[in-house]
């Protein structure tokens, strides 16, 4: 695996980072693929219940309540609870539909821990992205049905396995899934780790004086502004925009 590679790939580093994140929250799920449940719109003509949403809705709402177990880290105790202590009707449902085991696991973990999952930003490949069950027509409708069926089965069968693990004693009449707005990223990433204010750039411990940092920042801003001006407005200024190599000379025959 990743340990025996001379240089670990980005995916291996992200898996290691996800494991580090999980060691700080061992009673919940940590994964790379977030999903969201919402109440169905009563004006949509549906009979109530919940609706399952994929990545774009997560991005738009800025929250999630599930992570897919195809790329997730969890405590091994949950595997035993899923196999031995969870209601048999839930496992039968998964076997019958060949789907929804990730939703069942999320219900189980949320029932016990009363905590949301943790979404880790990373670059993990998905070998089932093409040709998997998620590419079939009607997949989102099936997932919504699965979400509501799992909720009904957990309420009817008390399938959560009790309130151990330091969490609350679950109330199986309510929706156990907990939403979160937290996205965990690397501290060394330029995209996920930006300072609160630009003064942080100046109050640094770089081995250069502050006045030199200010000059560098101003030069950088001036260069960006100059480049934008040349790209957008340079050709509109009279007398500019001569062909490369200067003006051509007309040769007499």
Would you call 88 exposed, middle or buried from its count of C-beta atoms within 10 A (0-12, 13-18, 19+)?
A: exposed
Evaluated on CA atoms 85, 91, 92, 95, the torsion sign reads negative
Looking up tokens 């009607």, which residue turns up? 138
Here the tokens at position 143 are 């997932």
* Side-chain-side CA neighbours of residue 236 (13 Å): 5
Q: What angle do CA 32, 36, 41 make, to 5 degrees?
A: 165
101 in the Ramachandran plot: left (φ > 0), alpha (ψ -120 to 50) or beta? alpha
Residues 6+ apart with CB under 8 A from 53: 35, 36, 37, 38, 61
Compute CA distances 40 → 53, 153, 190, 214, 232, whole Å. Answer: 11, 19, 38, 53, 47
Cα pseudo-dihedral 60, 63, 65, 67, rounded to 10: 70
Which one of 14, 41, 92, 102 is the catalytic residue?
Answer: 102
Q: Is 95 a catalytic residue?
A: no
Q: Give kind and range of the element (H or E) at residue 120.
A: strand 118-120
The sign one gets for the Cα dihedral 102, 87, 115, 48 is positive
Q: Which residues are the active-site residues?
A: 102
């Amino acid at each position: 695996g990743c340990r025996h590679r001379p240089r670990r790939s980005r995916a291996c580093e992200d898996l290691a980072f996800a494991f580090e994140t999980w060691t700080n929250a061992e009673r919940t799920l940590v994964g790379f693929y977030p999903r969201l449940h919402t109440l169905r719109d009563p004006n949509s003509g549906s009979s109530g219940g919940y609706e399952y949403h994929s990545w774009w809705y997560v991005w738009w709402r800025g929250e999630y309540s599930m992570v897919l177990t195809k790329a997730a880290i969890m405590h091994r105790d949950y595997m035993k609870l899923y196999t031995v202590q969870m209601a048999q009707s839930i496992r039968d449902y998964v076997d019958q539909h060949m789907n929804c085991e990730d939703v069942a696991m999320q219900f189980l973990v949320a029932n016990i821990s009363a905590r949301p999952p943790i979404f880790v930003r990373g670059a993990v490949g998905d070998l089932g992205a093409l040709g998997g069950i998620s590419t079939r027509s009607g997949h989102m409708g099936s997932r919504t049905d699965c979400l509501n069926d799992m909720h009904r089965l957990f309420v009817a069968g008390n399938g959560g396995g009790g309130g151990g693990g330091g969490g609350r004693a679950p109330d199986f009449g309510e929706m156990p899934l907990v939403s979160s707005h937290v996205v965990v990223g690397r501290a060394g990433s330029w995209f996920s780790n930006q300072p609160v204010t630009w003064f942080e750039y100046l109050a640094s411990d770089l081995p250069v004086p502050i006045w030199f940092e200010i000059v560098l920042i101003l030069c950088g801003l001036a260069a960006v502004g100059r480049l934008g001006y040349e790209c957008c407005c340079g050709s509109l200024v009279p007398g500019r925009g001569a062909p490369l190599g200067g003006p051509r000379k007309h040769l007499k025959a």
